[in-house]
Structure 1
């Protein structure tokens, strides 16, 4: 039989060579994703194409190879999906005897006799590339060491430089939090520097670029990324201007600023006005969605002043009603990369949801409840009213204890509260019930904390430090916090804005070694936003008949006076009503529902979770007898468990399913047999007891040590479960049983390790075939 490799070697390679494709223009077996993160440090399937054809730093075509006896277009659809991800227009699918060409732009395909040459294929892209755009594409990325850009980062950079080459005045890049927007911005700047591009006379001088952020932490993180050009950059702020006797710096090429530091203030002209209107060639606006309608973070006046510059916006949030002005201003994104794509590609960490409900989610005040301050204005208070209309410290204490009970003690955790005072109370309640003695285990990080808060935040972001472990905040940490090892995002606040919700969830998505997922612990129902049809959707199409000139976002004329603004924390007044609950009230958590997330980013209900598993099981085993045979062998069982992980069901999730079906005392085998074939479930005790009573089985082994060891393994299985029966556990079981070394144990089974392993496997066969 001719294999796929034979098709490549005997047919496709010669055909490409005949069409003048050189090795330098072909990437074979191109893997371009890492594979979705799964349990136990494993990964899902990586995306790859058999051939990726390229020329002049542009991907031109994907070639899918099939076996000679397969239909030539058998793998076409998957190749099309991968071509879309790589922004490739042409797909070829071939079994060697026939070759099919598909054009993603026209949506049409047909069989061809010969592959097009590189020149012919490149000609089809001529209308999309200008001379300047091609010049910028040809400048290599600035990479240090073994660093390589991810595929979407390359595409984003090229999309931006192509747009600059086409003289577009407004450019928008939409990429999920944690996907490297600042790295992309740096590579764009690097290419423009090397090309000596500028708006007035390209090639005559290096560009002058302004990087605008709305928080110092964002600006400082960007400065670190731009370190290779440290001699060319400067930060504009009050301290720098004062050191120059009130004169703004002009002796640099890359300028960093938070907009509050250079904007107009009460009775003071903004520093930006000291620069000529055509001073900057490019303005990069980080987190540009924060300049949308009704936000104090508007860039309008600054952008209006430097209207001749190219304005390039960076945001993590697709178009929504609450950031529509961002898209009105910049137009449709030149490139998009969603949170869903980042997780499925393995570049971001997946998440699970724990929805917590308490018996205080609906509060009816009684005569036993004491009014500490204010007066009640309604009969029933809902969960969204807490810390807005009513303050109940006992509820915050219950939430604090529940947080500690649902996290590993040293897992980095961010708790989002309603406001700064709520964050203060939450910190105090967590510190009241914590078991770690360090005074900085849980700290509040809000604008009121000032410099101390920023220093604690820096320590929290240091992945080599365990302390601080828990941060409480309100809005300060919604954006710009690059802490890769965050394991828990706690929501004890109502979140009205989808944009803000996406930003908060993004705090946990960064990849870190050993971090298979992060957990969202939700006390207010905020995670219902996952069920919004546009949770991670594509930006909306422009309205028909819209104006060709984009409308800038509105400008707020009274920005904060300080160089380091209050970072978005709302200055809300204290709720007027404070209650101390009656001493006879029982405060408790009534439900914690764990929901796992599918590949589309939607939490699965219990029914959906089970249905999804049932759909996967027929492809793993066809009968209960086959499942029994697989489960009886530790090696085959481990292979099956790995297949379940790949299908989205890890060992922890299977444990949750056992709990759901009240099968904690049963084996995972029994759960699978019940779900797939409606077989009655047995307990581990029943299985172990049946084997203990099987004298014929134990009679095979003459030495008491051998029989005692096998009985010890049965006890461990009954207590702990099937994990005790893996091959890897055998040395530990020998040691725990008191038999000594593996060599000592082998002596008890006839002197050969193979006899020991055979007995270990035979015991498992008895467990699943005799009971």
Structure 2
């Protein structure tokens, strides 16, 4: 009998030889190329990773995908999935083959046909990069500068190559849009490295380029400098201290320059260091967080960019095109590459999140004479959430919010609390420290611009993953962008956020991956998370409006007026006008009235409890066909674990299933009964019902003549009844043996041998979950 030809046989005997015949050696092929990590799931687990059968590479670039099928399959059987992956990876050519026939699909033209042989690497490369080939080839030929076992993520490679290809094509304004936490600074470093090695510059001379990295905060510039450490001898930071050290002369003897725009911009007392440089001094300017005003015609950064107009301007932003950053896109043009928050979470490179929407019985305020005015004047009949802590402070409400924050986080989970202004950050810090259980004086600290060096020291300690303290930071504007703190578990919103751009930046503080961090929680006291429901959350707006650099829509203002408005709204100007401060009479009891948990769907939208239930019901038919199929999978520890993993991959982790159980049943009900009830309208049972049924069934326990064996099985039943299905996991058996029987030798004596013990453990579960 002839053995069937497997896919592995097909690859080895047919596909590999055909690739080799077209000069695709092993150095140009990456087999089973995994390019995502799999969505993070509860319990430090991961969803399904995406991979390719073959990735064809040449000159440090990804050129094509080969989708392999076994010899007896149709050659294009897996073509559609391969096309989807090619679009995700920005790869133009896909080859589908069964080792006999080869089908070539060109994603650029959206079609393909059968071909006799694979094209050679050089032929394929020149087909893709026909324009400005020489410079692109030079850029591609320079490998990434990596240390140790480090490997760039697929989207980082794409971003670097897209920028360099744009530079090779002579583009002067380039934009990258990548979600917070995806490594924009690493991407910038690799771009700079390749440009330096290639000796590229705008005037095509034989010299290394001069590059300016422009940020808007020292903490961002300093983080970038650390990333550029391999070039520490070639970089300098432009600031007042450096200029003074050089006797008033700006530094010029470097290739990589770092600056915050405030340090080099023109001010009332300083002419502006940037003017000390010739307009053609820099070849490339990288503008970090460029949505924060760099592209606005009257923005704070614009004068600097206009001065250095001959340079290539590369903008970096975490925010897709929105109504409040449309000027950025008008200046730079369409991004050469975008990688969204939703993509990052789906691929497993960013941490998923859930929302806790907290409501209180004082989410609005109507003044009455029995409440005491401590400061200010009552000017309105009704104060809403938008007024709290900006215009109105209610002392007891601040205390309530502080207690609610502590009640909704784990004591040692790193947490950032975003406040209305710096004074509000002080008030909340003080109230949290009144109610905290941890005695350390630095458990909760304020980090704002007013704190200066002390605040930066606290921030550095907070970012250090080896340090537990501080745990909670209260802040206002300072921590909205660029602060890399990987182990943030909670983002707390205590003030409304008008700008979608700013909201997305704030959420990005929690998305960074950290070992053991399955998700982070957004605790929302003001309804700011309603922005998740915006139609343009991960896409362009329906229309475009003129916006000022603070994100305010409306008519264009003069530069001076706009500058004053910005200064008024900046942290340095916040909290200076007199606020209304109210102390409520002693008869008013403030409390949290509702905490609603919402989970984020694959589309990035929060789901209410009802929506969550409806989505789960809609997905369940793909997991099991009928109640008996579900019962069979659930009553076996191995298939039950596989089922839970499958549910997790669909977006329903263990914690979410627990929430589901509480929604429609009670914690005493088994998850099996919850799923069966949802899917097949089965009667809900408690774990006690199931445990009692097994105990009363003499036909099962009476099989075991040794009383120690019966006692052990009853012990497991009681554990299950008390603690849940987790006690029936295969990984729990050894612990149960140690707790009840003693040693494996004792277990063997009770059951005859270990195989019989394992069989009894599995048979017990079939009895627990048997049909009535």
Decide which moves more: 124-133 or 486-495: 124-133
**Mapped contact 2:210–2:282 kept (Cα < 8 A):** yes
Work out whether 1:131 is the aligned partner of 2:134: yes
Aligned to 1:756: 757
**Mapped contact 1:371–1:578 kept (Cα < 8 A):** yes
C-alpha distance in structure 2 between counterparts of 1:383 and 1:566, whole Å: 18
Q: Report the CA distance shift for 1:507/1:166 in structure 2 as closer, same or farther (over 3 A).
A: same
C-alpha distance in structure 2 between counterparts of 1:105 and 1:293, whole Å: 31
Query: Could you tell me how far 1:189 is from its partner in structure 2?
Result: 1.1
Aligned to 2:512: 510
Equivalent residue for 2:488, pick from 469, 486, 489: 486
Q: Report the CA distance shift for 1:743/1:406 in structure 2 as closer, same or farther (over 3 A).
A: farther
Decide which moves more: 494-503 or 595-604: 595-604
Aligned to 1:300: 302
Query: Could you tell me how far 1:697 is from its partner in structure 2?
Result: 3.0
Aligned to 1:371: 373
**Mapped contact 1:265–1:559 kept (Cα < 8 A):** no
Work out whether 1:212 is the aligned partner of 2:210: no
Aligned to 2:697: 694
Work out whether 1:165 is the aligned partner of 2:168: yes
Cα displacement string for residues 166-223 of structure 1 (whole angstroms, at most 9, x for unaligned residues): 2221111111111111111111111111122222343x22111111111110111111
Decide which moves more: 496-505 or 761-770: 761-770
C-alpha distance in structure 2 between counterparts of 1:321 and 1:572, whole Å: 27
Equivalent residue for 1:743, pick from 742, 745, 754: 745
Aligned to 2:238: 236
Query: Could you tell me how far 1:296 is from its partner in structure 2?
Result: 9.4
Equivalent residue for 2:265, pick from 254, 263, 266: 263
Cα displacement string for residues 577-634 of structure 1 (whole angstroms, at most 9, x for unaligned residues): 2222232223222221111112221112223322222233223322222222222222
Cα displacement string for residues 234-291 of structure 1 (whole angstroms, at most 9, x for unaligned residues): 1111111112221111121211111111111104211111112221111111111112
C-alpha distance in structure 1 between counterparts of 2:450 and 2:298, whole Å: 18
**Mapped contact 2:177–2:338 kept (Cα < 8 A):** yes
How many residues are matched?
756
How does the TM-score come out when normalised to structure 2? Answer: 0.93
Query: Could you tell me how far 1:490 is from its partner in structure 2?
Result: 0.7
Query: Could you tell me how far 1:520 is from its partner in structure 2?
Result: 0.8
Work out whether 1:537 is the aligned partner of 2:543: no
| SS in structure 1 at match of 2:473 | strand
What does 1:614-693 correspond to in 2, within 5 Å? 614-693=617-696
Cα displacement string for residues 433-457 of structure 1 (whole angstroms, at most 9, x for unaligned residues): 1111100000111111111111000
Aligned to 1:112: 115
C-alpha distance in structure 2 between counterparts of 1:576 and 1:296, whole Å: 31
C-alpha distance in structure 1 between counterparts of 2:502 and 2:609, whole Å: 28
Work out whether 1:53 is the aligned partner of 2:56: yes
Aligned to 2:468: 466
C-alpha distance in structure 2 between counterparts of 1:111 and 1:572, whole Å: 69
Aligned to 2:199: 196
Equivalent residue for 1:322, pick from 321, 324, 332: 324
| SS in structure 1 at match of 2:77 | coil
C-alpha distance in structure 2 between counterparts of 1:539 and 1:158, whole Å: 28
C-alpha distance in structure 2 between counterparts of 1:673 and 1:398, whole Å: 41
Cα displacement string for residues 513-568 of structure 1 (whole angstroms, at most 9, x for unaligned residues): 1111111111111111111121122588999xxxxxxxxx999679999xxx9985
Query: Could you tell me how far 1:496 is from its partner in structure 2?
Result: 0.8
What does 1:447-466 correspond to in 2, within 5 Å? 447-466=449-468
Work out whether 1:580 is the aligned partner of 2:583: yes
Work out whether 1:429 is the aligned partner of 2:427: no
| SS in structure 2 at match of 1:385 | coil
C-alpha distance in structure 2 between counterparts of 1:429 and 1:169, whole Å: 51
Query: Could you tell me how far 1:375 is from its partner in structure 2?
Result: 3.2
**Mapped contact 2:665–2:674 kept (Cα < 8 A):** no
Q: Report the CA distance shift for 1:585/1:558 in structure 2 as closer, same or farther (over 3 A).
A: closer
| SS in structure 2 at match of 1:127 | coil
C-alpha distance in structure 2 between counterparts of 1:139 and 1:100, whole Å: 32
Query: Could you tell me how far 1:570 is from its partner in structure 2?
Result: 5.0
**Mapped contact 1:318–1:539 kept (Cα < 8 A):** no
Decide which moves more: 408-417 or 321-330: 321-330
Query: Could you tell me how far 1:62 is from its partner in structure 2?
Result: 1.3
Q: Report the CA distance shift for 1:649/1:83 in structure 2 as closer, same or farther (over 3 A).
A: same
Decide which moves more: 127-136 or 274-283: 127-136
Equivalent residue for 2:340, pick from 335, 338, 341: 338
User: Unaligned 5+ residue runs, structure 2?
Assistant: 546-555
**Mapped contact 1:215–1:258 kept (Cα < 8 A):** yes
| SS in structure 2 at match of 1:40 | coil
**Mapped contact 2:33–2:53 kept (Cα < 8 A):** yes
Cα displacement string for residues 376-413 of structure 1 (whole angstroms, at most 9, x for unaligned residues): 33333322221123211222222221211111111111
Work out whether 1:25 is the aligned partner of 2:7: no
**Mapped contact 2:214–2:258 kept (Cα < 8 A):** yes
User: Unaligned 5+ residue runs, structure 1?
Assistant: 544-552
Decide which moves more: 393-402 or 522-531: 393-402
Decide which moves more: 439-448 or 43-52: 43-52
Query: Could you tell me how far 1:315 is from its partner in structure 2?
Result: 1.1
Equivalent residue for 2:726, pick from 720, 723, 728: 723
What does 1:565-576 correspond to in 2, within 5 Å? 568=571, 571-574=574-577, 576=579
**Mapped contact 2:89–2:155 kept (Cα < 8 A):** yes
C-alpha distance in structure 1 between counterparts of 2:73 and 2:557, whole Å: 59
Work out whether 1:712 is the aligned partner of 2:684: no
Decide which moves more: 280-289 or 566-575: 566-575
Aligned to 2:501: 499
**Mapped contact 1:152–1:337 kept (Cα < 8 A):** yes
**Mapped contact 2:296–2:327 kept (Cα < 8 A):** no
C-alpha distance in structure 1 between counterparts of 2:266 and 2:733, whole Å: 71
**Mapped contact 1:360–1:383 kept (Cα < 8 A):** no
Cα displacement string for residues 84-119 of structure 1 (whole angstroms, at most 9, x for unaligned residues): 122111112223344332221112223333333334
How does the TM-score come out when normalised to structure 1? Answer: 0.93
Decide which moves more: 213-222 or 326-335: 326-335
**Mapped contact 2:60–2:142 kept (Cα < 8 A):** no
C-alpha distance in structure 2 between counterparts of 1:761 and 1:297, whole Å: 69
**Mapped contact 1:691–1:770 kept (Cα < 8 A):** no
C-alpha distance in structure 1 between counterparts of 2:530 and 2:722, whole Å: 38
C-alpha distance in structure 2 between counterparts of 1:293 and 1:313, whole Å: 9
Q: Report the CA distance shift for 1:491/1:29 in structure 2 as closer, same or farther (over 3 A).
A: same
Cα displacement string for residues 363-385 of structure 1 (whole angstroms, at most 9, x for unaligned residues): 33444332222333333332222
Q: Over aligned residue pairs, what C-alpha RMSD do you find? A: 2.5
Cα displacement string for residues 669-697 of structure 1 (whole angstroms, at most 9, x for unaligned residues): 10011011110111111111222223343
C-alpha distance in structure 2 between counterparts of 1:297 and 1:419, whole Å: 23
**Mapped contact 1:208–1:252 kept (Cα < 8 A):** yes
Cα displacement string for residues 470-528 of structure 1 (whole angstroms, at most 9, x for unaligned residues): 00111100012100110111111111111101110110111111111111111111111
C-alpha distance in structure 1 between counterparts of 2:297 and 2:759, whole Å: 70
Query: Could you tell me how far 1:298 is from its partner in structure 2?
Result: 2.4
Work out whether 1:311 is the aligned partner of 2:329: no
C-alpha distance in structure 2 between counterparts of 1:503 and 1:461, whole Å: 17
Q: Report the CA distance shift for 1:224/1:293 in structure 2 as closer, same or farther (over 3 A).
A: closer
Query: Could you tell me how far 1:64 is from its partner in structure 2?
Result: 1.1
Q: Report the CA distance shift for 1:254/1:123 in structure 2 as closer, same or farther (over 3 A).
A: closer
Query: Could you tell me how far 1:460 is from its partner in structure 2?
Result: 0.3
| SS in structure 2 at match of 1:249 | coil
